[in-house]
Amino acid sequence: MMQEPPASTQRSSSPVPVVRLPSVPLTITFLAVLALALALAACSSSVDSKDPAESQDGSGGLSLVWEAWDKISQNYAGVDALDSESVAAGAMAQFLDLVDVSPYPFLTDVGRMRGQPPANVPGEMVDLWRAFALYSAGEPDFDPATVAEAVVAGMLNGLGDPSAAFLDAEQYPLARENLDDVVEGSYLGIGSRVISQDGQIVLFPFGGSPAESAGILPGDVLVAVAGSSVVGQSVQEVVSQVAGPKGTKVLLALARAGEAQHLEVEVFRGDIELQSVASQLIPGGIAYLRISRFRENTGEQVFSALEELNRFDMLALVLDLRSNPGGSAAAAKESAGQFLPDGAVFGFVEDQTGKRTAQYIASNEDRLSLDDLLIAVLVNDQTVREAETMAAALQDAGRATVFGTATFGDASAYEFIELSNGSAMYLPVSRWLTPSGKLLGRNGLTPDVEVDSVPEVDGYGGESQFNRAYEFLDSQLPPFR
């Protein structure tokens, strides 16, 4: 059983032809930066009254904040350069919001403060330390440690990166597990997606899975596991009850539309391979292959799909990377290796210091002979990270013509950076560059042929992006084939 993932933070996409998949809405939050206010405050004149900062002898519970900044400055390698003023402004904005203090005249008073901060306070965070000192002077019972984690979250908001996130000690292990699940090509379970809908647990079995073999139908409502009711339970609680050792069975009670009585089925638990590739042959010798995300086994699935399509005299290919959120960089490189020669440059990885490391297509004796295959790649504003990198590699090598709209514009690689209290920050620690050395910045990859997606009655795909790609490939092939 597989838990339905939470809605991602991606923009909504256009419909996908031929093999239709649901798109996921993207919400990007914007930070109101207070850098200007901080700059004005720093220029204010000093006052003769006793400086609250002089009475502060240390970090006052803010050691986590200083630690977070040190690790951000050491590890951050986002598309945009690290802006310490924006990070500090994000932290300040979060602090003022938490303590319900208006920026003016508070920040002006901060700028008038004298006194040197403790040695462990980073220079970029001095105004933040002074703000805490000033507020604490008027609120003796205030404990800065109670808001330290929220202030770290504000620092990440200041990065302007919608994917950067703070996770507390409870959220972090679950987030890491969920991220691993997204990339893994298989999992141990019964082979069914499970979602919560109108207070009920609804099952949608995967094709060929133990759940489907046991007779579970899409839309069946799970009411009990091993004789114990699951009514009112969360998805995570239900998934934990269904889980068990490989090869064992679990008894499920189901409510099915049109059936007066509950049904009971026994389902074997086993290794479930997750599909990320779909394909079909279209009239005219043109094939369609969609990669929905890059899992650990995606490269193998791409090879199998191409091998099957090639048996039917595939002459050209529409490769659909729209609404692909990325995933495994190794799988993206392996997939691209089906179309690029051994030793070709897939791209470059640049770390925080600016050092670039070339990524090469590995030798593969099993690679199909597709050197003459015409390829059109479909992208849109939800083509993200590894999917952008693959599209760029094929475009740079002259192996494909790219159709659609500009991609999302985030070719960074992210990692969890752990903090001493068990929490973690999810940060970009390296970035991908195209084989030609271009950084895929906020504007994303520009298609060779820009086409918005709109419904079309004519054509095989039912929408414009696919139809333009199909027409292009069709025009390049012999008329009689």
- What pTM did the predictor assign? 0.74
SS3 140: coil
Q: % helix / strand / coil in the chain, to the nearest 5?
A: 30, 20, 45
Distance from C-alpha of 27 to C-alpha of 461, rounded to nearest angstrom: 28
Q: Could you count the other beta carbons within 10 Å of the beta carbon of residue 194? A: 22
pLDDT tens-digit profile, the chain (481 residues) = 555 444 333 444 344 344 332 333 333 332 232 233 333 333 333 333 344 444 443 455 899 999 999 999 999 987 778 999 999 999 999 999 999 999 999 999 999 998 788 999 999 999 999 999 999 989 989 998 899 999 999 999 999 888 899 999 999 998 898 888 778 877 788 989 888 888 899 999 888 889 999 999 999 999 999 999 999 888 888 988 998 888 999 999 999 999 999 999 999 998 888 889 999 999 899 999 999 999 999 999 999 999 999 998 899 999 999 999 999 999 999 999 999 999 999 999 999 888 999 999 999 888 899 999 999 999 999 999 999 999 999 999 999 999 999 999 888 889 999 999 999 999 999 999 999 999 887 789 999 999 999 999 888 888 999 999 999 999 999 987 6
Domain locations in the chain as residue ranges:
35-161, 186-273, 277-476
Alpha-helical runs (H) found in 354-448: 386-396
Beta bridge partners of 60: none
Beta pairing, strands 316-320 & 286-291: parallel
Q: Are 212 and 205 in contact (CB under 8 A)?
A: yes
CA 417 to chain centroid: 16
Tokens 């206010």, residue located: 37
SS3 96: helix
Query: Under CATH, domain 277-476 is a member of which superfamily?
Result: 2-enoyl-CoA Hydratase; Chain A, domain 1 (3.90.226.10)
- Residues whose CB falls within 8 Å of the CB of residue 313, separated by 6 or more in sequence, listed in order: 285
Distance from C-alpha of 119 to C-alpha of 123, rounded to nearest angstrom: 9
Beta pairing, strands 424-433 & 449-450: unpaired
Q: At what angle do helices 103-111 and 35-42 cross, to 10 degrees?
A: 40
Report the sign of the C-alpha dihedral through residues 395, 401, 404, 405, in that order.
positive
Q: Could you count the other beta carbons within 10 Å of the beta carbon of residue 455? A: 11
Structural fold of domain 186-273: Pdz3 Domain (2.30.42)
Tell me the backbone φ, ψ of residue 439, rounded to 5 degrees.
-80, 125
Q: Are 432 and 336 in contact (CB under 8 A)?
A: no
